[in-house]
Amino acid sequence: MVKGSHLEPLWKFLKINPNLAGLPFWEAYPTLRVGVLKLADGCPFRCTYCSVPQVDPNFVPRPLERAHAELDPLCKLGAENIAFYDDALLFRAESLLATFLRKALEKNLQIHFHTPNALNARFMTKNLVRLMVQACCKTLYLGYGAIKPSSPFYLWEHLKWTG
Ligand code: SF4
């Protein structure tokens, strides 16, 4: 039986031994226009309507070197749009997303980032939103489960400040 994201019984059944440290084999594509990235696995929150706490309850950051090692071949293959598929992208944002984006800015990449999974609006600070805009985060989806009645205006003020 497979419990949560613990796939060891499945690997045993299939008689395979996956290389968990391996990088995605993006080079199998001759060119790419889009790509995906994940900075951390799991989610520390427990929204009652969500399956993630059942499947992946532990928030485990991935090494940022790995994220950049995944980003570089995506860019080389021509991907112009990169979607984060983290479940809690803004959790511990200073050590994860902000650090990742600052390094991406140093590389002067011609790419746009997107956050199709809902962002936890209460973690959106003025500086973080400014950095996300600078780093070309083009589409930001907000999770309403985390929004207080005044939050849309709070966010709108942040976006106005960042121009
Ligand atoms: S923050 Fe998102 S991923 Fe985490 S439990 Fe809530 S809805 Fe699910």
Q: How far is the CA of 84 from the centre of ligand 1 (A)?
A: 15
Closest protein CA for atom 8 of ligand 1: 50
- Residue 82, judged by CB atoms within 10 A of its CB (0-12, 13-18, 19+), counts as buried
Give the N- to C-terminal CA distance of the chain in Å, as an integer: 51
CATH 3.30.390.50 fits 8-162, yes or no: no
Closest protein CA for atom 6 of ligand 1: 47
For ligand 1, say whether the CB of 50 is within 6 Å of any of its atoms. Answer: yes
Mean pLDDT of 82-90: 96
- In tens, the pLDDT along 106-138 reads 999 999 999 999 899 889 999 999 999 999 999
